[in-house]
Amino acid sequence: MKLLIIIPAKLDSKRLEKKNIQLINNKTLVEHSIDYAKASSCKKEIIISSESNIVKDIALRNNVKFLQREKSLCGDTEVVDVYINILQNLDEKYDYVVALQPDHPDREHTLDYCLDYMIENNYDDLITIEPNFKRSGSVRIFKYEFLINQNVSKRIGCLRDSATDIHYLEDLNKAKNKMS
């Protein structure tokens, strides 16, 4: 099984400035997602998408591929459009595309567990939800063929995950306390 793992890490957060490079346990939120991705036993390519040179330096320092995000794909853009844009600019094909939002550093399930759950249930698209059943997207997995053809919700499944969704400073502090 071959994975493309995308970490969308823009820095123009409106609620918590430079959210994706905030530190928990001496690592940026981006680095927590990189570590999570690297822990998978699957064959994988990890790509970070951002408009920021700071994030680019983090990617390169962690031996991860970096793609400069177009200005049109920043701001309030639907993040699935970022994923599709990346796929359209790659020659490689994959079995699955995994998207990891950096603002969920304390994911409950391993990536391999999430993949197994998706495959066992024959989903085309899997997204994590919070314990209150609100969509979180700490992990989102697509079958490559469905995403490249922009069909993202034919057989969607969900998996409950108690990862902290960081939007504000108090969320960051909650995650820090949970992870210490």
Domains of the chain as residue ranges with CATH: 2-179 (3.90.550.10)
pTM of the model: 0.92
Q: 27: helix, coil or strand?
A: strand
**How confident is residue 154, by pLDDT bands cut at 50, 70 and 90?**
low
Q: Do residues 161 and 107 make contact, with C-beta atoms less than 8 angstroms apart?
A: yes
Pull the structure tokens for residue 77.
């853009």
Spatial distance between the Cα atoms of 47 and 57, rounded to a whole number of angstroms: 13
Residues in the chain: 180
What share of the chain in percent tops pLDDT 90?
69
Q: Do residues 99 and 137 make contact, with C-beta atoms less than 8 angstroms apart?
A: yes
Kindly give, in sequence order, each residue whose CB lies less than 8 Å from that of residue 130, ignoring residues fewer than 6 positions away: 136, 160, 161, 162, 163, 165
DSSP label of 110 = -
Pull the structure tokens for residue 111.
């990536």
DSSP string, 31-76: HHHHHHHHT--SEEEEEEEES-HHHHHHHHHTT-EEEEPPGGGSTT
**Is pLDDT of 98 > 70?**
yes
